[in-house]
Structure 1
Amino acid sequence: MSKLFKYLIFLLAGLAVFAVVLAFILFSVIDPNRYKPAIETAVSQQADMQLRINGDIDWTFRPVFGLSITDVSLRNGVTPQELAAFSNIALKLDIGSLLYGNLAVQELVAENLHINWFVDAQGQANWLVNTDSSPAAPEQPGASSTDLPIDINIAEIRVINASIAVRDLSNNIDTRLQNINLSSQNTNLENRPFPLELSMRLINEVSGQDLTMELASTAQVDFNGGNINLDDLRLNVSPLVLSGDLSVSDFRNAMRWQTSLSSNTFNLSHLLANFMAIDEDSMPAHNEQQFSIQNLQANGDSTGATLGGLTIALDGTTAELRGDYLFATDTRQALLAYNLTADAIDLDALLPATANTETAAATDASDSQPGSATVTSSADTALPIDFLRSMNIRGEHRLESLAMSGLQFAPVAFGLQLQDGVLNIDTQPVGFYDGELDATINLDASASPAQLAVETGLNNISASALTADMPRLDFFTGRFNASTTHMMQGDTVNALFDSIDGASTLQVNDSSVNITMLKRVFSAISVLSPSGNIAAQWPDVVRFNNAEAFLIFVDGIDDNQELNVRLDNFDISGTGGIDLAAGEFDYRLDFSILGEPALQTIRVNEDFQNVAWPVRCDAAFDDAALQYCSPDLQRVREVFAAIARDEIQQRASEALGEQVDRLRNRIQDLFQNQ
């Protein structure tokens, strides 16, 4: 028994020594660099690409046992850019195959992989370029693809900390994906399905936003046929989870793709926060603003894309979009045609408020520093001139109702057409507070600068119904008509406002107007009046037979506006302007109470009729309406002085007339008595 034990010990020791010697001989005698030509040739033959191993190939035990390859680059032999570059690749090998001189790769681990996806101005991608006519990779001297048999049916692939630079000159895209991690098992390019998991971070260096994406799917790749299928696809961009299928066919020649997707129900604002700055105070709760993609069917090829159907839901409201997009060619511009139908859409809930922190900070700094200039303008916004000139669009929209800026429109139907740089938007009669709204917008981006014309019309609108959503308009009732006609030019939003010309008109029928603000102004005027309060007998609410207003714009909105308001025998006229950035207005007006033949709805002493009372309306839009206007008391004193002078002159003239009459009568009596 002891001899048997000794024999076993000797046998095991001998096997161990043999294994050590064998490993020593294997690692010492077999130079792994001898596999370099075989690996390069295999990739060239099977992937039709040029693999270059610029570094050495060494044995490695971490992260897997096998070969470690450094400084690797991949090209297609046509475009000048590298398709990809690796700092290190580890290949897990089958030891048994090595003993027979074969290179059987069981696992691939790539670290610090960098991929360049480049699309030139003609829309040709470097990874999809046709390499059939490109020169074959030069064969290494003394080596051929059959010198060292190689099997690249890789059981597992892992990519660690990769990055992708995407630059598309045709669409002006320049972005970067980082921290990409990829893993798959039984990976192959021979149309056999295998699991695939991918995660990455999209980092916006400008805004500092960091977006994490995760993808899982069962992939099926037929590289020779140019086909890729991603079944049971699941894309997670918190809080959005997309699921469905994606397939690409014949990507090596005439690529086509199609997809069928749907999503979970998620909070839309929390998704938008991944892409834009949103004020946290305006963010809805997680159980609010529930959004979902019920169905998305799309397909496309090298000529364009078709959206067969997109159905989305938001808080019980559904919308459906269909459309086609054709890429631009040498003979025509890109073309987009679509049709949108929806139930009730609330844009106020759909688009959360964004925080303009820079403007607010600048305003605070201005207010806190003595003598500093007040911020009066915000950053300008350029019009998308290049986009408007680059494509043609035709769109039809039909909405059951639309809520925007607190206002309600129902129903809504309008067409949009963009052709040769000219954008036209024309509405059908839109329901608006028991009346109708019509609007026409024409933006000519082919001109330099761009020309904008806007015409709107409000017909038979109920002021009482409108007041429910615009409480500041509760000072009048009745039905009104309004129209606007404006012309602007410029390539930025500020330039448009600075050049606005045109007029707005308002006519109210059978209206009752709350004149409390007018009474307050005349009460202040009456402080200087020797005859007491001019407006003491006026009621708070007055019914007017004729109520109309005119606002004329001349070369911008900041100043030079001409305003006129007529309420029977009450007339307001003057000039001024609006500071949109500061949210303020400033008008210098004359308040006049006309005498006959104007209908005497508001009555005053005849001495105060047809007098232009100077009033300054200088306030912020958010101020209380009663604070909007106040009299210019210095000029009011001058008006009262002029009235007094006129009265003195009139009395003196009357007294002088009386004396003349008496003298005439005495002379007549004298001659009669003689």
Structure 2
Amino acid sequence: MGKVLKIVGGLIGLVVVLIIAAVLVIPMVVDPNDYKQEIISQTKSATGRDLKIDGDIGLSIFPWLGVEINGLHLSNAKGFGDTPFAEVRHLQVRVNLIPLIFTQSLEIDKVKLAGLKLNLAKNSQGVSNWDDMTGGQSEEALTSAESAGEGPADTTAGGGLQGLSIGGVAISDAHIVWDDQSTGEHFEVKQLLLETGAMAPGRAVDMRLALGLDRAQPALRSEFDLRGRLMADPAQGSFSMEALEVLLKVSGEGLPKAGVKAKLSADLYFNQAQDLLEVKNLLLSSEDLRLSGAINGQAISSAPRFDGQLKLAQFSPRNWMQKFELPLPQTADPSVLGKLAMALVFETQPQRIDLKNFEMQLDESQIKGNFTLIDPASPAYRFHLDLDKIDVDRYLPPAVDKPEKKPVASSKDSGDKPLFPVELLRNLKLDGTLRVGSIKANNIQAEAIKVVIKSKGGQLHIDQQVGRFYNGQLKGVLDLNVKGKQPTLKIKQSASKIQAGPLVKDLTGQDRFDGVGGFSANLSSRGQTLTQLKRGLNGNLKMEFLNGAVKGVNLAKMLRDAKARLSGKKPANSVEPEQTDFSELTASAVIRNGLLTNKDLLAKSPFLRVNGSGRVDLVGESLDYVVRPVIVSTTKGQGGEGLDDLKGIPVPVHLKGPWSKLDWNIDLGKVLAESQKAKLKETLNKKLDGQLKDKLPGGLQDKLKGGLKGLF
């Protein structure tokens, strides 16, 4: 036994002596720089490229077997210019021989790479400047070779390494260019930096990745800096990144000079075996903007499902945009966009996205509800939203006083522009409900609103109800069908007990009408443009208003003044209000192919009965209408005195012409002539019934009355 131990000890001593001799002798007798030309030749033979080595090649043997190379230049492919494909200023890789020999563990020292320059390019024909180095072997060929046993060796088989550790990675001052002539894209990664601490399975390592990214079109500059503590455990199939912090700054075309900055922080956990992902302590911030939350993921590699919550802390979008010198929208109220906050819970599946408990505050408005997206490839949307109040007018552009322009005749105007996004509507699948407590839009106010929207197969249905609309109610249904060659539109609308005065004032800005009543409309049309819809419009309208007034027009005063001028007299001064009162105003109309016909306009007042009839050409935007006021009383109400001789005589007012230049006239002379005839007829009838009653033979009196009828 003693001899055996002596023999083993001697062998070990011999090995040690040989190793020491190799460490001392090899560096003295072997100069790796003598092999530069051999390396260059082998590179040329393998790649067809020219390799240039400007610096020295360093070699270390024990205990670290390593190589150090300086000043490498690899030429570009043919047709891609003289710029080198790759350059390396300094490269160092070392392996510790002691654990490799005695424990079969691979321990690599920190890998250092400095001054890398890599020029990647693709020409206009789609050929890249590295295709020649792949040997032309297709992906299918590689897959076939691997399946035939010619692929990479199975590193999981027995007899492999017992452990792997890397002292870290240090990549500095790297520059990568991507120039794609086939698409016009050009990117440059500048000042790339990658630093890590020592890496080993089950042990956390600090790391940092920083770079600058330049894009040509549009001209943008991005600065990216990532830091965190990385842990990877291949045996457990787990990966984590704790204290992750990402800084991003983007500047360039369309952005402020100072750029836009953002910061992301989180803790990431991924388990490959369980196919789980967890994101904790998520925080995205940019000045006053702070978005926080958490995300959980399951079946990440097969059928990914995510759930979590997000919260946007209250901030001022207006101030945030001003800090970044971003253009602010022009709004009628400069104080809007002062507050914004949001919170939601989400769940996602491969074919479904659910936003639950959605809450958002915008200035003084709050909206709550749920939203669902089904099958993103052929999306269907469902939603239920509740909005407490909003003044839309505050967010619209401010009103601008524009000088009046004379209308210019044109055969092609806004009436010929398409109105409906047909393709979008044909593919739109929508089922939602919107409730609004109160809204103001275009100065019109409404409360207690419910809108139900459904769309499928090119058919859009909107059902809306307004519980409080100027002290009344408003409801209606709109159906739009775009399945055929031309869209078809149907509208049913009705209103009841509406205070017309405030409505007209809010709508026009002028106090022109008063009264309580309502209207109904049942309309249909066909077409894609406004002109087509007008031309194809059919249906009927009805309206009824009570106890009101048409303001700005005193019809009685107009008649008295016209009569005075016709008689050569000066119109009398009057303190009467400029309005025409009515106790009842009713009308109905029929629309056929864009032509509206009304035959039963009726307005009643204490002294007037007004009838009207005529036509409105909606396509030509012109009017041909006759209003016939009849004086029924001159002793009371607005009639006053001075119109006794017109009592019971219709006074036709003819309105005719385009809407933009409407003309009207009253043939008062003819009216007065009719009035005198009526008076003469009345006088003769009285005489026949009075003074001549007993003086005429029997039957002659009745014959004279009949003759007077024919005369008058």
TM-score, normalised by the number of residues in structure 2: 0.59
| 1:186–1:515 Cα change, 3 Å | closer
In structure 2, the partner of 1:347 is 392
One-letter identity of the residue aligned with 2:246? L
Shift of 1:399: 2.2
Q: CA RMSD in A?
A: 6.2
The separation in 1 between residues aligned to 2:599 and 2:169, in whole angstroms, is 79
The separation in 2 between residues aligned to 1:452 and 1:348, in whole angstroms, is 28
| Contact 1:523–1:533, Cα closer than 8 Å, also in 2 | no
Correspondent of 1:136 among 137, 140, 143:
143
Question: Deviations for 1:561-615, whole angstroms, at most 9, x for unmatched residues?
Answer: 65864321023443335699xxxx7534323112669999764445472232223
Residue 196 (str. 1) matches residue 229 (str. 2): no
Structure 1 residues 536-555: aligned runs within 5 Å: 540-550=578-588, 552-555=590-593
Question: Which deviates more, 465-474 or 479-488?
Answer: 465-474
One-letter identity of the residue aligned with 1:97? R
Shift of 1:442: 1.5
| Contact 1:32–1:67, Cα closer than 8 Å, also in 2 | no
SS in 2 for 1:136: helix
| Contact 1:433–1:461, Cα closer than 8 Å, also in 2 | yes
The separation in 2 between residues aligned to 1:232 and 1:289, in whole angstroms, is 28
Structure 1 residues 113-512: aligned runs within 5 Å: 136=143, 179=220, 181=222, 183-185=224-226, 191-193=239-241, 194-198=244-248, 215-218=262-265, 220=268, 242-245=291-294, 250-258=299-307, 260-265=309-314, 282=331, 284-285=333-334, 287-327=335-375, 334-352=379-397, 377=414, 380-466=417-503, 469-470=506-507, 472=509, 474-492=511-529, 495-512=532-549
Question: Which deviates more, 343-352 or 521-530?
Answer: 521-530
Shift of 1:517: 5.6
| Contact 1:36–1:57, Cα closer than 8 Å, also in 2 | no
Correspondent of 1:611 among 621, 627, 651:
651
| 1:355–1:472 Cα change, 3 Å | closer
Structure 1 residues 623-634: aligned runs within 5 Å: 631-632=664-665
The separation in 1 between residues aligned to 2:144 and 2:71, in whole angstroms, is 26
The separation in 1 between residues aligned to 2:71 and 2:295, in whole angstroms, is 35
| 1:159–1:500 Cα change, 3 Å | farther
SS in 2 for 1:410: strand
| Contact 1:160–1:181, Cα closer than 8 Å, also in 2 | no
Structure 1 residues 75-94: aligned runs within 5 Å: none
SS in 2 for 1:348: helix
The separation in 1 between residues aligned to 2:356 and 2:96, in whole angstroms, is 57
Residue 570 (str. 1) matches residue 610 (str. 2): yes
The separation in 2 between residues aligned to 1:248 and 1:54, in whole angstroms, is 48
The separation in 1 between residues aligned to 2:45 and 2:386, in whole angstroms, is 60
The separation in 1 between residues aligned to 2:269 and 2:42, in whole angstroms, is 30
The separation in 1 between residues aligned to 2:447 and 2:658, in whole angstroms, is 36
The separation in 1 between residues aligned to 2:493 and 2:247, in whole angstroms, is 54
In structure 2, the partner of 1:97 is 94
SS in 2 for 1:441: strand
Shift of 1:436: 1.5
Shift of 1:136: 2.9
| Contact 1:297–1:309, Cα closer than 8 Å, also in 2 | yes
| Contact 1:278–1:353, Cα closer than 8 Å, also in 2 | no
Shift of 1:308: 2.0
| 1:507–1:31 Cα change, 3 Å | farther
Shift of 1:346: 2.3
The sequence identity of aligned pairs, in percent, is: 14
| Contact 2:86–2:119, Cα closer than 8 Å, also in 1 | no
| Contact 1:524–1:631, Cα closer than 8 Å, also in 2 | no
| 1:154–1:200 Cα change, 3 Å | farther
Shift of 1:395: 0.9
Shift of 1:446: 2.4
SS in 1 for 2:366: strand
The separation in 1 between residues aligned to 2:269 and 2:33, in whole angstroms, is 40
Question: Which deviates more, 179-188 or 23-32?
Answer: 23-32
The separation in 1 between residues aligned to 2:144 and 2:600, in whole angstroms, is 82
The separation in 2 between residues aligned to 1:36 and 1:535, in whole angstroms, is 116
| Contact 1:262–1:296, Cα closer than 8 Å, also in 2 | yes
TM-score, normalised by the number of residues in structure 1: 0.62
| 1:351–1:247 Cα change, 3 Å | farther
| 1:619–1:195 Cα change, 3 Å | same
Provide structure 1 residue ranges, at least 5 long, that are not aligned to the other structure.
1-17, 38-52, 73-86, 116-130, 166-175, 621-627, 669-674
| 1:521–1:442 Cα change, 3 Å | farther
Shift of 1:500: 2.7
| 1:108–1:524 Cα change, 3 Å | farther
| Contact 2:221–2:252, Cα closer than 8 Å, also in 1 | no
One-letter identity of the residue aligned with 2:379? A
Count of aligned pairs? 555
Provide structure 2 residue ranges, at least 5 long, that are not aligned to the other structure.
1-26, 56-68, 78-83, 98-107, 123-137, 156-163, 184-216, 233-238, 698-712
| Contact 2:342–2:360, Cα closer than 8 Å, also in 1 | yes
SS in 2 for 1:192: strand
Shift of 1:616: 4.7
The separation in 1 between residues aligned to 2:531 and 2:32, in whole angstroms, is 77
| 1:408–1:510 Cα change, 3 Å | same
One-letter identity of the residue aligned with 1:95? Q
| Contact 1:197–1:215, Cα closer than 8 Å, also in 2 | yes
Question: Deviations for 1:351-384, whole angstroms, at most 9, x for unmatched residues?
Answer: 546999xxx99x96x77xxx87599536724412
In structure 2, the partner of 1:118 is none
One-letter identity of the residue aligned with 2:461? N
Correspondent of 2:625 among 574, 579, 589:
589
Greater relative contact order structure (CA < 8 Å, 6+ sep) = 1
Shift of 1:529: 2.6
| Contact 2:392–2:439, Cα closer than 8 Å, also in 1 | yes
| Contact 1:303–1:326, Cα closer than 8 Å, also in 2 | yes
Shift of 1:319: 0.7
| Contact 1:456–1:485, Cα closer than 8 Å, also in 2 | yes
| Contact 1:33–1:58, Cα closer than 8 Å, also in 2 | no
In structure 1, the partner of 2:704 is none
